[in-house]
Amino acid sequence: MRSLVVLIALCLVIYHVSHNSISASSKTRRGTVFINGTAPIGRIDDDFICATLDWWPPEKCDYGTCAWGRASLLHMDLNNPILQNAVQAFSPLKIRLGGTLQDKVVYEGRDNKEPCTPFVKNETEFLGFSQGCLPMSRWDELNIFFNKTGAAVIFGLNALRGKVIDSQGLATGAWNSSNAESLIKYTVDKGYKIHGWELGNELCGSGIGASIAADQYASDVIHLQNVVQYIYTGSKVKPLVIAPGGFFDAAWFAEFFDKAPSLQVATHHIYNLGPGSDEHLIHKILDPSVLSNALGTFSSLQSILKHSGTSAVAWVGEAGGAYNSGRNHVTNAFGFSFWYLDQLGMAASYDTKSYCRQTLIGGNYGLLNTTTYVPNPDYYSALLWHKLMGNNVLYTSFSGTKKIRAYAHCSKKNQGITLLLINLEKHAAVRVRVSTDNVASSKTLNLQHSRKKLSTIPQGSVPSVNATREEYHLTTQNRDLSSQLVLLNGKILRVDSSGAIPPLEPIKKTVSKPITVAPYSFVFAVIPNIDVPACG
């Protein structure tokens, strides 16, 4: 009898646990996203999405793991069909060539009498590697690839050439541009198209490994501008000149732009999640307060550019989230799209023109798998953004839960608005209504910055209740954030046997019904025929 009582009690416990689990997993919240389209709050480039290629050789290791393989600029397989198709899908994809070792790269040429040798690991050397060389034969191969795939190339030049680094890491002396000039002349003579020349990598502020004072950096950049103007004399289109390519330091940036006001692009780097060794990295990614910790940088940089008298625009020149090559099964997995898509939305709302992801391939944060070249989940997130999110950024706020991040742009190719919704909640779906009739209070989730409150959109701008919208739901199997598979509207996205990128097809929903955002998922919703002034 006692055994029967225990068995019944056990069954009751199992029932209550499973019932509560089912209830938790099927929980639904509600909320409203408010979009004000009176005027744009920012404007992005058509090729806003950018990715990086790095110099790190296979011997680059972090925390006992060597995650780079043969993915560097000098070693990657440029004939891989998946790689070619992945880049061509953007038409164009901005690609920034650079990284930590760029300030130790010399370029083969008549001015350089040294042997053109590869990087060699040496812990006694600056940055842990010997000087490396870019052979012109490899530069030819890279440019054939870029031309074939339609990439827009930004090349990071060695800014330490000719400088002396003291015991405190300060690099002094003027930049010796002779080797860079040789590369630029060769590039022009061969007819290779370069979108921009960038000077130096992470040398601003306190620097990483070494630093350059703001006034000296400004002098070096002005010198590069003169070099570019001279070599490209007679060219209808001249490449951009870009700097400083490092971590934001308000005082340093203010002084730099005061002394180099003619610079065209201001680049800064973002690794706001800390080291890749952090075992709690995924918890940071799912924390709204951590996601928002980059707001201060975006806001401060915009303020400096606005008040310095420069015409330079802001780019994020490199962003991998977690430094030292990221973390396997986190920064190359489905869960990282929470950080990545939120970064894209946040940067765009502060008038950032381009956002370069570290990396296209290489390390543990590549958009493509380092070995197979197969797209990781963030590749598809980037491609959907590129195809759907237009130039003009709209003021957007969300009311209902802190676990939803919301961003809206004018649609890229058609009239209307494209909305991005990110659900950080593990168990609860959120049914989201879209309102263009008023703007929420200042307690906004995704734009924790002060903006001038805009007037509301006329009610007559809303499409008819019979209209449909297109939805793109990105999820993963069993809500496994460490998975490197991604599902679009329930179907796994895979390249085919020829390496072709799969089509990204939407589902259609009645526009008058709420948008349901599943737990741990993202939704792009294209809402047509909303006539707002910002999208006119």
DSSP 11-26: HHHHHHHHHHHHHHHT
Can you name the residues that pair with 106 across neighbouring β-strands?
133
Q: Is 36 left (phi over 0), alpha (psi -120 to 50) or beta?
A: beta
Structure token digits, residue 4 = 């029967």
- Beta-sheet strands, E only, within 132-216: 132-134, 152-157, 164-165, 171-172, 196-199
Q: How far apart are CA 106 and CA 161, in angstroms?
A: 9
Q: How far apart are CA 507 and CA 503, in angstroms?
A: 13
Catalytic residue from among 202, 255, 425, 470: 202
Structure token digits, residue 57 = 């050789």
* Residues in CB range of 472: below 8 A, 6 or more apart: 384, 388, 488, 489, 504, 506, 507, 523, 524, 525
Q: Which residues of 452-471 are buried (b: 16+ CB within 10 A; e: fewer)?
A: eebeebeeeebbeeeebbbb
The answer to whether 134 touches 179, Cβ cutoff 8 Å, is no
Q: How many residues does the chain have?
A: 536
Q: Beta 42-43 vs 28-36: how paired, if at all?
A: unpaired
Q: Which amino acid is at 123?
A: E
- Residue 16: φ, ψ to 5°: -65, -40
Q: Give Cα separations from 89 to 237, 383, 521 (angstroms).
A: 25, 8, 23
Ordered alpha helix ranges (H), 244-314: 250-259, 281-285, 288-291, 295-308
CB count within 10 Å of CB 414 equals 13
Among 274, 309, 323, 315, smallest CA distance to 297 is for: 315
Check if 181 is active-site: no
Among 157, 177, 160, smallest CA distance to 169 is for: 160
Catalytic residue from among 181, 318, 425, 470: 318
Check if 202 is active-site: yes
Q: How far apart are CA 373 and CA 11, in angstroms?
A: 49
Residues with catalytic function: 202, 318
